[in-house]
Amino acid sequence: MQEIEAKIGNWYQTPDGQVFEVVAIDGDDGISVQYVEGEVAELDQEVWDQLLLVEINAPKDWTSAYDEMERDDLGYSDGIIHPENWSDRLASFDMED
């Protein structure tokens, strides 16, 4: 059986056409993969070794799982912070003479 090493960021395809990317490797918990459709799964090393995989290039539409995300879902806002709007950090301390 052909063994392919799991590498974070690499894409693989199973004989039945499932395409996924390895997103994390944890020696205790196994290998986390994310399918093109967005589903995340956890595979243990024994299961990984039994899969018949082909290493592939990232699909052209690999971002399709993220198509429904709004910019606000990324965890930050579009607001621009200007230094002149920052408060003086030392102003909150009582200054003693």
Residues 1-15: tens digit of each pLDDT? 557 899 999 999 999
What would the mean pLDDT of 31-45 be, rounded to a whole number?
92
Tell me the per-residue pLDDT of 60-84, one tens digit each, with 9 for 90 and over.
875 555 555 555 555 555 555 556 6
Among candidate residues 18, 7, 9, the one with its CA nearest the CA of residue 53: 18
39 pLDDT higher than 60 = yes
